[in-house]
Amino acid sequence: MRRLFFKYIVVLIAFLPFTTFAKGKKISKIVVDAGHGGKDFGAHGTFSNEKDVTLACALKLGKILKDSIKNLDVIYTRTVDEYPSLVKRHDIANEAQADLFIAIHANSTMDRVTRQVVGYKTIKKKKKSVKQPIYKIVRHHETSMMGVETYVIGLKRLGQQAGEVTDEFSHDSTVSEGVLNENDPQTAIIISQYTSAFFQRSVRLGTKIQEQFAAQKRPDLGVKQKSLEVLAGSAMPGVLVEVGFINNPEEEAYLNSEKGQTEIAMAIYRGILAYKNEVEK
């Protein structure tokens, strides 16, 4: 899988001089990436799948962007229920030489496992009768967690073990198998250049988007980092917005509603607009 990363690295270097030093650069192309799709359902709630929620929100966001910003190109990684690989998604963005990469996902928590006593049995222990409970393992898919969080392209924190990052794309073997060696001097230089080029911008964009969700009274879970490998394929600032918890019944209903999807698209749009106005100054 190293070759994959060489490809990424070459792309990164190719774009660095244009992105790092271009001040007042116009944002004219935005990639909108609906997470998952096709065979990849993503997370699920009680009645819906992440791949459908992300597509609905992405299409709404794209339409609002196109209708509201003159001469803006919106590039979708998918517009139907299909699965472009992560590499394919980034290829689309890089080939278009887009200025921003916006990935839309829905959040989910791990199932909670509890034991329930469903009866008792009597067993003989050292000639004595002992009553023992019989347990049933119960999985709880629902959560009370709610709110929005935005991930930016980030470095793995020092000392972090592989796999510690909860990785949306871990099922994508083309990505999860690759390991960036940050101890290699050349890789370290590339990472630091990459970081200075896009990381700050991504954080600014993510912050603006989160502010808009907060203004809508959605719980603000903040701007966070995802490992470099996950989002580094695109040579442009990028964010991954987790628009709500699909395994929270209240949020699942919201994520599937016309009102919810429109509000989500509007929050991301307003965040992009605020960022755009700032960088184009």
Minimum CB separation from Zn ion for residue 132, in Å? 42
| CB closer to Zn ion out of 35 and 238 | 35
Q: Does 168 engage in binding with Zn ion (CB under 5 A)?
A: yes
Q: Does 35 engage in binding with Zn ion (CB under 5 A)?
A: yes
CA angle 135, 137, 142 (to 5 degrees): 140
Question: Do 32 and 76 touch, CB atoms closer than 8 A?
Answer: yes
Of 5, 15, 27, 42, which lies in the binding site for Zn ion, with binding defined by CB under 5 A?
42
Minimum CB separation from Zn ion for residue 41, in Å? 10
Give the interface segment with Zn ion, choosing from 31-39, 137-145, 158-166, 207-215 (CB under 5 A).
31-39
Contacts with Zn ion: how many residues (CB under 5 A)?
Answer: 4
Polymer length in residues for the chain: 281
Residue (of 189, 151, 194, 188) closest to 15 by Cα position? 194
Helix, strand, coil shares of the chain, percent, nearest 5, are: 40, 25, 35
Three-state SS sequence of 113-151: EEEEEEEEEEEEECCEEEEEEEEEEEEECCCCCCCEEEE
State how far Cα 31 lies from the chain centre: 14
Q: Does 238 engage in binding with Zn ion (CB under 5 A)?
A: no
Minimum CB separation from Zn ion for residue 167, in Å? 10
Minimum CB separation from Zn ion for residue 57, in Å? 12
Q: Return the residue nearest Zn ion (CB atom).
A: 105
What Cα–Cα distance (Å) separates residue 173 from each residue in 51, 107, 131, 169, 205?
A: 19, 21, 49, 8, 29
| CB closer to Zn ion out of 89 and 204 | 89
Give the interface segment with Zn ion, choosing from 69-77, 114-122, 167-175, 259-267 (CB under 5 A).
167-175
Give the interface segment with Zn ion, choosing from 41-49, 83-91, 155-163, 177-185 (CB under 5 A).
41-49
Element (H, E) at 76: strand 73-76
Window 76 to 115, contacts with Zn ion (CB under 5 A): 105
Residues 6+ away with beta carbon under 8 Å from 30 = 65, 72, 73, 74, 75, 98, 99, 100, 101, 102, 272
Q: Does 33 engage in binding with Zn ion (CB under 5 A)?
A: no
Minimum CB separation from Zn ion for residue 103, in Å? 8
Minimum CB separation from Zn ion for residue 166, in Å? 11
β-sheet bridge partners, residue 30: 74, 100
| CB closer to Zn ion out of 40 and 220 | 40
d(CA 265, CA 79): 15
Minimum CB separation from Zn ion for residue 251, in Å? 14
The contact set with Zn ion (CB under 5 A) reads 35, 42, 105, 168
